[in-house]
Structure 1
Amino acid sequence: MRGARAAGRGLLVLIVLLAAHASAGGVTRGGGAGRGPLTLATAGDLTGYLGPLLGGWNRKHPGEKVTLVELPDSADETRAQMETDLRDGDGGRFDVLNIDVNWTSQFAAAGWIRPLSRTRFPLDTFLPPVVDTATYDGRLYAVPYVTNAGLLLYRKDVLAREGLPAPTTWAELERDAETVAPKYGLDGYAGQLMPYEGLTVNAVEAVYSAGGSILDDDGARVTVDSPAAREGIGFLARGVREGWIPREALTYTEEESRHAFEDGGLLFLRNWPYAYVAAESAGSAVAGKVGAVRLPGPDGPGTSVLGGSDLAVAARARHPDSAQRLIAYLTSEPVQRQVLTSGALPPVRAALYEDPALVRRFPYLPVLRAAVLTAAPRPKSPRYDQVSLVVQAIVHDCLTGRQSPDAAVRRLAAELAAVAKGQ
């Protein structure tokens, strides 16, 4: 009898606790646990595609409506505003975050985003390398939303006149940039070499393509001091020194380099696929004259850095179940198709890269698929912002001739070791 009374009191306490949890928002009226309205934070939506996608969700889920918050176009400013919100002692206002792939490790290590169950998302239907961008310390902390990989754009009309194929090695690229480009009044090759995140990407791609690395897989050990790193950084430094990379490229971001190619000033350009779409659009001086291949490497196609973004759930999201349901919706195949066709952003669903209708409309898709499948993420580190700043500063010093590739690599090893130790 005493046990029955204790059980009854326990049941009453449990009912009271559940009622309190429901009134606090843990359970919403008409919904399951953790369901309710959401706020999605993202960098500026330049093509305006995301609003209609979320409108489709809102019409079908009136009790879980999503409010879109567009932050600045600048990645650095977007990250700063997200960090401020995630540190907010009152819980913040963002529930779902559209984050750059190289922020996932930092946000996870800081405890700002929550781990997710792999079983809730069809990760086996994604391009395999993109899933790695969403993991940290062996756990899934986000879901890939869009991907990206650097491509080599080239003037196919010029190479055709010379009877040359697109380059697949650094030696072929260097030869054509030195000898063919001047015959047509063009500069040889450019990437994004201003000291900002783009230079980190270009430098890391060169190191990866030569078979090297920057950090080990968990970001704890510095691995950059290698012949491969000297070869990769040396390739870029030699290009500037010998002139087949114009010195003006040391001031280029994605947009400046895109305009230089689009205006007919470059034979070769490393950039993201959006630059191909822009160069082939009406008003471009090179429309109809552009080809795209994987980035070259020392002995054949090289390795691109994975770009794109992941969707994460804030650690203090008001309605975490709705947040994960929204992520599943945004990464479903029908919506991923719209991400490509309406937003011109590379999807993460593998099947879309082999859809004949999409390939006709976006002819770079097979090349991009191959580039993504062989791509690698940027160095994973909870201090990635510091890692990137070190790489930018030292590689730019090397490109401007202030120090040799050998000295640059030794300095990278020392300064990145200090970052890894938290100094």
Structure 2
Amino acid sequence: MVRRLIPVALAVLLGLAGAGCSAAGARETERFGGTGPFTLVIGRDTTTYLQPLLDRWNQTHPGERVTLLELPEGADEQRAQMVANLQAKSDRYDVLGLDVVWTAEFAETGWILPLERAMFPLNRFLPPVVDTAVYRGKLWAVPYTSNAGLLYYRKDLLAKEGFKPPKTWEDLRTQARALHEKYGIGGYAGQFLAYEGLTVNFAEAVQSAGGQILSPDGTKVIMDVDKAKAGLDFLVDGFREGWIPPEALSFKEEESRLAFQEGRLAFARNWPHAYGPATGSSVGDRFGVTRLPGSNGPGTASLGGYNLAVSAFSKRQKSAVEFIRYFTSLENQRRVLADGSFPPVWAELYDDPGLIKRFPYLPVLKQSILSARPRPASANYDQVSLVIASAVSNALTPPFTKGDSDDVVSSMKGQLEEIIRAQ
């Protein structure tokens, strides 16, 4: 008898978790039509944490089973496949896992549906994270995971040399050069291949110099040339002086993660997901994380992460919305962190003693997220990113004669202004 009751109890508990919010929020889903089996489309799951969460939903929703459709790991490739599907007005994609920078574009083009705030416990999420899902005053998606850049460092090497974790660019430059010369390893690396990751690294450098690129609403170029030049010079000098290794020009997230955990770097800029793999690598417990450094103190990271949206062409919109409510619930957010090592969006999880014991970087990450800046909410963000990545890539490529920083930044600003005027 007890064995028969266990599945029933589990079903009840999961059903309650799926509801997630108030009865008023549940009533809001009535305006969405269509139920039945649907798809979740998101970047490749490199930690295998997703399927168990989907299985829990499927156990209690046999008539609304969710199927995972994995896209390539890179954000650019993910966007390309989603855009092709949505431009064709296909109903194959239902729930979309969107990079936070795509909200404006997908909303502006009518590819995703606006959602009601009352349906989700947004007041318990980290405020900057919620902002990434809002465009022109409307909620277009629900935050699912967050992200902010962190500086990974070899605490054992810093201890040997009497260094403290760097807080400024000059600290990082001095330490990276010293460790590179003494231990024969790369001093520092981020994501410097000409793609979205390079745009992020440059944006963080500009922000950490006290500047910005676009206005928060993405309608104006407000880039201060001197501050942008300072951020670019920080990166160019690293390659010119040798404390950023030449191979870093080919680095995306995985390449920089592997280089650090294999002991080939003293410092690395990466997202929090790199923490878990590093603990089981050759560097083991010999590394730490801190906030990114800036020109005169702690820097400002770019806000990353994924939001969940409903395709405007889905024929199972009600099921999709209910799934998003389930998938972003507190308990599932705990599993996203515990099993996938991805930063959650619920603020209270960052103060949980048990989670902090397992993930010591959570207090630092919380500070980084709360002080981070979202990338511009531009409907033409892909063009903005392409211009930035291309210009910065040219500046970082030897022999460093393709134009000094002043020319690169001035040209970039002019191209960005053309893109914004064309919106």
TM-score, normalised to structure 1, is 0.89
For residues 247 and 415 of structure 2, the distance between their equivalents in structure 1, rounded to whole angstroms, comes to 28
Alignment partner of 2:204: what SS? Answer: helix
Larger Rg: 1
Question: What amino acid is the match of 1:351?
Answer: E
Question: What amino acid is the match of 2:396?
Answer: L
Contact 1:36 1:65 in 2 (8 A): no
Question: What amino acid is the match of 1:93?
Answer: R
Question: What amino acid is the match of 1:196?
Answer: Y
Contact 2:100 2:307 in 1 (8 A): yes
For residues 40 and 279 of structure 1, the distance between their equivalents in structure 2, rounded to whole angstroms, comes to 29
Contact 2:76 2:196 in 1 (8 A): no
Question: What amino acid is the match of 2:169?
Answer: W
Give the Å deviation of 1:99: 1.0
For residue 373 of structure 1, what is the aligned residue in structure 2?
Answer: 370
The Cα offsets for residues 311-347 of structure 1, whole Å up to 9 and x where unpaired, read as 0011122233322221111111001111111222111
Contact 1:177 1:188 in 2 (8 A): yes
Contact 2:193 2:252 in 1 (8 A): yes
Q: Superposition RMSD on alpha carbons, in Å?
A: 1.6
**1:342 matched to 2:323:** no
**1:320 matched to 2:341:** no
For residue 230 of structure 1, what is the aligned residue in structure 2?
Answer: 229
Give the Å deviation of 1:33: 6.2
**1:240 matched to 2:224:** no
Question: What amino acid is the match of 2:363?
Answer: P
For residue 60 of structure 2, what is the aligned residue in structure 1?
Answer: 60
Alignment partner of 2:98: what SS? Answer: strand
**1:261 matched to 2:260:** yes
Give the Å deviation of 1:32: 9.1
For residue 308 of structure 2, what is the aligned residue in structure 1?
Answer: 311
Which of 285, 307, 316 is the aligned partner of 1:288?
285
For residue 142 of structure 2, what is the aligned residue in structure 1?
Answer: 143
For residues 366 and 71 of structure 1, the distance between their equivalents in structure 2, rounded to whole angstroms, comes to 31
For residue 121 of structure 1, what is the aligned residue in structure 2?
Answer: 120
User: How many positions carry a matched residue from both structures?
Assistant: 390
For residues 207 and 201 of structure 1, the distance between their equivalents in structure 2, rounded to whole angstroms, comes to 10
The Cα offsets for residues 231-286 of structure 1, whole Å up to 9 and x where unpaired, read as 111111111112221222112111221222122121111111122222211xx221
For residues 79 and 253 of structure 2, the distance between their equivalents in structure 1, rounded to whole angstroms, comes to 19
Please list every run of 5 or more consecutive structure 2 residues that lacks an aligned counterpart in the other structure.
1-29
Greater mean deviation of Cα atoms: 38-47 or 115-124:
38-47
Please list every run of 5 or more consecutive structure 1 residues that lacks an aligned counterpart in the other structure.
1-30
Give the Å deviation of 1:54: 1.6
Contact 2:187 2:265 in 1 (8 A): yes
Contact 1:225 1:413 in 2 (8 A): no
For residues 416 and 366 of structure 2, the distance between their equivalents in structure 1, rounded to whole angstroms, comes to 32
Which of 352, 363, 372 is the aligned partner of 2:360?
363
For residue 385 of structure 1, what is the aligned residue in structure 2?
Answer: 382
For residues 39 and 180 of structure 1, the distance between their equivalents in structure 2, rounded to whole angstroms, comes to 48
For residue 298 of structure 1, what is the aligned residue in structure 2?
Answer: 295
The Cα offsets for residues 363-388 of structure 1, whole Å up to 9 and x where unpaired, read as 11111111111111112211111111
For residue 173 of structure 1, what is the aligned residue in structure 2?
Answer: 172
Alignment partner of 1:418: what SS? Answer: helix
**1:48 matched to 2:48:** yes
Following TM superposition, where does structure 1 have runs of at least 4 consecutive aligned residues deviating by more than 6 angstroms? Answer: none
For residue 97 of structure 1, what is the aligned residue in structure 2?
Answer: 96
Question: What amino acid is the match of 2:410?
Answer: R
The Cα offsets for residues 164-223 of structure 1, whole Å up to 9 and x where unpaired, read as 210011111111112243122222111111111111110000001111111112212112
Alignment partner of 1:52: what SS? Answer: helix
For residues 198 and 73 of structure 2, the distance between their equivalents in structure 1, rounded to whole angstroms, comes to 18
For residue 10 of structure 1, what is the aligned residue in structure 2?
Answer: none
For residues 193 and 74 of structure 1, the distance between their equivalents in structure 2, rounded to whole angstroms, comes to 14
Give the Å deviation of 1:145: 0.2
Contact 1:196 1:389 in 2 (8 A): yes
Give the Å deviation of 1:35: 4.8
Greater mean deviation of Cα atoms: 224-233 or 205-214:
224-233
Contact 2:91 2:315 in 1 (8 A): no
For residues 398 and 178 of structure 1, the distance between their equivalents in structure 2, rounded to whole angstroms, comes to 21
Give the Å deviation of 1:226: 2.7
Question: What amino acid is the match of 2:395?
Answer: C
Alignment partner of 1:102: what SS? Answer: helix
Alignment partner of 2:288: what SS? Answer: strand
For residues 245 and 88 of structure 1, the distance between their equivalents in structure 2, rounded to whole angstroms, comes to 43
Instruction: Note closer, same or farther for the CA distance 1:68–1:180 as it changes in structure 2 (3 Å cut).
Output: closer
Contact 1:188 1:245 in 2 (8 A): yes
For residues 141 and 320 of structure 2, the distance between their equivalents in structure 1, rounded to whole angstroms, comes to 11
For residues 196 and 32 of structure 2, the distance between their equivalents in structure 1, rounded to whole angstroms, comes to 40
For residues 363 and 183 of structure 1, the distance between their equivalents in structure 2, rounded to whole angstroms, comes to 29
Alignment partner of 2:145: what SS? Answer: strand
Alignment partner of 1:62: what SS? Answer: coil
Question: What amino acid is the match of 2:80?
Answer: A
Which of 306, 326, 329 is the aligned partner of 1:332?
329
Instruction: Note closer, same or farther for the CA distance 1:309–1:162 as it changes in structure 2 (3 Å cut).
Output: same
Give the Å deviation of 1:150: 0.8
For residues 279 and 232 of structure 2, the distance between their equivalents in structure 1, rounded to whole angstroms, comes to 31
Contact 1:398 1:404 in 2 (8 A): yes
Give the Å deviation of 1:139: 1.3
Instruction: Note closer, same or farther for the CA distance 1:33–1:63 as it changes in structure 2 (3 Å cut).
Output: farther
Alignment partner of 1:312: what SS? Answer: strand
Alignment partner of 1:64: what SS? Answer: coil
Question: What amino acid is the match of 1:79?
Answer: R
Question: What amino acid is the match of 1:215?
Answer: L
Greater mean deviation of Cα atoms: 176-185 or 115-124:
176-185
Contact 2:225 2:410 in 1 (8 A): no
